[in-house]
Amino acid sequence: MSGGEILVVVLIALLLFGAKAIPDIARTMGKAVGEFKKATNEIQREINESTSGLKKDLTEISSSVESEATKIKDQVENQLKD
């Protein structure tokens, strides 16, 4: 939004709510934004906690598969040399 658009919004707010109500509205909006951010952070934390076990399991499976693949590759190479 440009400066002109912001000015129009402020003027409309003054006309609709009056100068005395604007600080209360701004305070309420600030609290709402803060609560929204807090809720968003909480949801993100819960998602990270619930998926951390899954990430650990996938890492273990991946390293196990890589280890077995290396063993099989070594066995095949040894058989081809003989």
Assessment of whether the complete model's pTM goes beyond 0.95: no
**What is the longest distance spanned by two Cα atoms in the chain?**
93
**Residue 79: its pLDDT value, please?**
87
Average pLDDT value for residue range 19-25: 84
Domain that holds residue 56: 3-81
**Residue 38: its pLDDT value, please?**
96
**Residue 14: its pLDDT value, please?**
83
The per-residue DSSP string of the chain comes to: --HHHHHHHHHHHHHHH-TTHHHHHHHHHHHHHHHHHHHHHHHHHHHHHHHHHHHHHHHHHHHHHHHHHHHHHHHHHHHHH-
Per-residue pLDDT of 28-74, as tens digits, reads 989 999 999 999 999 999 998 889 888 888 999 999 999 999 999 99
**Residue 40: its pLDDT value, please?**
96
Pair of tokens at residue 77: 């190479």
Domain count, the chain: 1
